[in-house]
């Protein structure tokens, strides 16, 4: 009994090493066939994301923010480590059971890869090669543990060298896979692209859109700081040379555009603030950029939209879909098929080669990244990714405001204190921002210059702070006269409401 214990630990460790080898060889295979998304971790993780109910997605974004995908991968890795350890322990005595369990796991990975939108038959290969690698490692492990007379140093040395060799192979195969993938990436992204000048430029931003209050974010969000929300576990890499956009459905003349076609069209440049429906009151999932792209309404009209259509169902290279109200895109606002953000080609994370941007609509019903397909259809006939999961089918951005200065729970000296932040009500525009302290009277804040109804607006005010604990609240009123309601509702199904509140201590 006591003599068995260390052996078990060793067998568990070898099981984990076998799993590492299986995953490493699978990753290498996925890289070699040019389908990193078909590797077991991304494939199973993506299926998990798509099967997750709306509340779980909301919880993940709220709790882990932009790290939600990392948390998922770490969780998945933990499950694999436990399963692998169990298989490792079982392997010496019940080799067939161990091989059956490994095969089962590989079958799940293979089925997951094949189930992904846009998958190909070859996507099963990483799972097959991974299973072979894992089985090979397990069988070697089994021989190690077979009872023999040698419990002395040479046997232990064999164990160590075998373990080291397996680890080395796992790291080598996985690392080579990674290297291949990143080498391919740089040839597919658009870093070297020369962007055409806009036929319809945005012009310089009005002076005074930025208040320059320390701690208040910039008016234009730098691309690297721009929030990212999507369901993609592996960022889709679509070489622009191969990209096309199909426009079809309820239209008289379907078209297919290449990236060269896009570059050849007159391009429009606009300042538009993007917002995620999952943003909590006071949350960070909003960003402002200057976008360059094709006038989406003009493009659609060229195809001869039929009267029955009321929805644009856009689809990304990785099969995600969004339903956009056609009337919103055609009502004169600056909806874009964007190819650049703040003077740079879109980064892969933000949708290169092309994405949609529609002022005034939350991202999940308008801002499709890696877009490859626009189908004119009807809300009554087809539903999109999040709509099927309980989110609203139409989702205009709600009027919102947040306090960025002072920070929550800040300790500040008594006297005049600058309170500042950002407010947005895209496509209506922010008309007023009010601040109150400790439930007192609402006082008007000063608004920064406006860059138009489609952008957020900074605000500031001065508060004479007295010692003690205080509660600062903010609310905005949009240009239609609508003031943010006090009532707190969660982001599901069509965006959060409520006043952002910050507690501070004045000393
Ligand atoms: N292909 C694809 N596009 C997508 C999404 C997605 O999951 N997949 N998420 C949408 C959501 S919910 C938002 S809020 C915006 C965010 O855009 P960003 O990541 O560039 O900030 O992208 C939208 N476009
Ligand atoms: Mo979103």
pLDDT digits (tens, 9 = 90+) for 254-300: 999 999 999 999 999 999 999 999 999 999 999 999 999 999 999 99
Largest pairwise CA distance in the chain: 87
CA of 274 to the centre of ligand 2 (A): 9
Q: What is the pLDDT of residue 368?
A: 98
Instruction: Name residues of the chain where pLDDT drops below 50.
Output: 1-5, 150
C-alpha 313 chain-centroid distance: 19
Say which ligand is closest to the CA of 494: 2
Q: How much is the pTM?
A: 0.88
Strand, helix or coil at 200? strand
The answer to whether the CB of 320 is under 6 A from ligand 1 is: yes
Tell how far the Cα of 387 is from the centroid of ligand 1, in angstroms: 14
d(CA 395, CA 291): 21
User: CB–CB of 385/315 below 8 Å?
Assistant: no
Q: What is the pLDDT of residue 234?
A: 87
Tens of pLDDT, residue by residue over 416-475, are 999 999 999 999 999 999 999 999 999 999 999 999 999 999 999 999 999 999 999 999
Regarding the beta carbon of 352 and ligand 1, being less than 6 Å apart is answered no
Give CA–CA dist 455/430, Å, rounded.
9
Query: DSSP letter at 284?
Result: S
C-alpha count within 13 angstroms, C-beta hemisphere, residue 132: 8
3-state DSSP assignment of residue 462: strand
CA distance 150 to 338: 68
CA of 393 to the centre of ligand 2 (A): 13
Check pocket membership of 226 for ligand 1, CB cut-off 6 A. Answer: yes
- Provide φ and ψ at 458, rounded to 5°: -80, 155
Q: How far is residue 285's CA from residue 400's CA, in Å, rounded to a whole number?
A: 12
Quick one: which of 386, 237, 241 has its CA closest to 314? 386
Query: In the prediction, which pLDDT does 39 show?
Result: 93
Query: Which value, in Å, is the radius of gyration of the alpha carbons in the chain?
Result: 27
Which residue spans within 142-181 are E strands per DSSP? none
Pocket test for ligand 1, best of 238, 287, 364 (most atoms within 8 A of CB): 364
8 Å CB contact between 47 and 112: yes
Q: Ligand 1 within 6 A of 369 CB?
A: yes
At a CB cut-off of 8 Å and minimum separation 6, what does 102 contact? 18, 22, 87, 131, 134, 135, 138
Sequence-ordered list of residues with C-beta below 8 angstroms from that of 390, at least 6 positions apart, any chain: 53, 54, 492, 493
Domains and CATH numbers, the chain: 4-188 (no CATH), 223-389 (3.90.420.10), 400-506 (2.60.40.650)
> Using CA of residue 90, residue 91, residue 93, residue 95, what is the dihedral sign?
positive
């Amino acid at each position: 009994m006591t003599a068995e214990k260390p052996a078990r630990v060793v067998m568990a460790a070898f099981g984990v090493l076998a799993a590492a080898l299986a995953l490493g060889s699978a990753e290498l295979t996925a890289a070699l066939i040019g389908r990193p998304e078909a590797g077991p971790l991304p494939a199973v993780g993506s299926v998990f994301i798509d099967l997750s109910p709306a509340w779980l997605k909301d919880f993940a974004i709220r709790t882990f923010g932009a790290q939600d995908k990392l948390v998922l991968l770490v969780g998945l890795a933990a499950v694999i480590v436990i399963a692998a350890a169990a298989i490792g322990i079982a392997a010496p005595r019940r080799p067939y059971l161990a091989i059956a369990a490994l095969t089962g796991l590989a079958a799940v990975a293979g089925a997951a890869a094949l189930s992904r939108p846009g998958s190909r038959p070859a996507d099963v290969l990483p799972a097959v090669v991974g299973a072979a690698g894992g089985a090979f490692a397990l069988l070697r492990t089994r021989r190690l543990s077979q009872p023999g007379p040698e419990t002395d140093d040479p046997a232990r040395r064999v164990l160590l060298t075998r373990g080291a060799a397996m680890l080395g192979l796992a790291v080598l195969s996985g690392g080579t896979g990674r290297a291949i993938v990143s080498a391919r990436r740089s040839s597919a992204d658009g870093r070297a692209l020369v962007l055409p000048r806009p036929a319809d430029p945005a012009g310089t931003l009005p002076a005074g859109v930025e208040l320059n209050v320390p701690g208040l974010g910039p008016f234009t969000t730098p691309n690297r700081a721009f929030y990212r929300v999507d369901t993609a576990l592996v960022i889709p890499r679509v070489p622009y040379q191969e990209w096309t956009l199909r426009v079809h459905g309820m239209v008289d003349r379907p078209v297919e555009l290449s990236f060269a076609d896009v570059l050849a069209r007159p391009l429009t440049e606009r300042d538009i603030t993007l917002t995620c429906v999952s943003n909590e009151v006071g949350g960070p999932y909003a960003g402002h950029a200057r976008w360059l792209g094709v006038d989406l309404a003009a493009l659609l009209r060229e195809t001869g939209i039929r009267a029955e259509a009321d929805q644009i169902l856009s689809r990304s290279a990785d099969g995600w879909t969004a339903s956009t109200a056609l009337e919103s895109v055609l009502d004169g606002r600056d909806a874009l098929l964007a190819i650049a953000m703040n003077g740079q080609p879109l980064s892969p994370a933000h949708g290169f080669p092309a994405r949609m941007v529609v002022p005034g609509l939350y991202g999940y019903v308008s801002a499709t990244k890696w877009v490859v397909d626009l189908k004119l259809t009807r809300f009554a006939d087809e539903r999109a990714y999040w709509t099927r999961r309980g989110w609203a089918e139409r989702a205009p951005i709600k009027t919102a405001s947040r306090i960025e200065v002072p920070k929550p729970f800040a300790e500040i000296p008594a006297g005049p204190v600058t309170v500042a932040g950002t407010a947005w009500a895209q496509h209506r525009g922010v008309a007023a921002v009010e601040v109150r302290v400790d439930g007192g009277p609402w006082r008007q804040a000063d608004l920064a210059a406006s860059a138009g109804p489609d952008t957020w607006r900074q605000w500031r005010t001065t508060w004479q702070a007295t010692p003690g604990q205080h509660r600062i609240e903010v609310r905005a009123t949009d240009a239609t006269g609508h003031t943010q309601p006090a009532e707190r509702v969660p982001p599901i199904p069509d965006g959060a409401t409520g006043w952002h509140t910050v507690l501070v201590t004045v000393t």
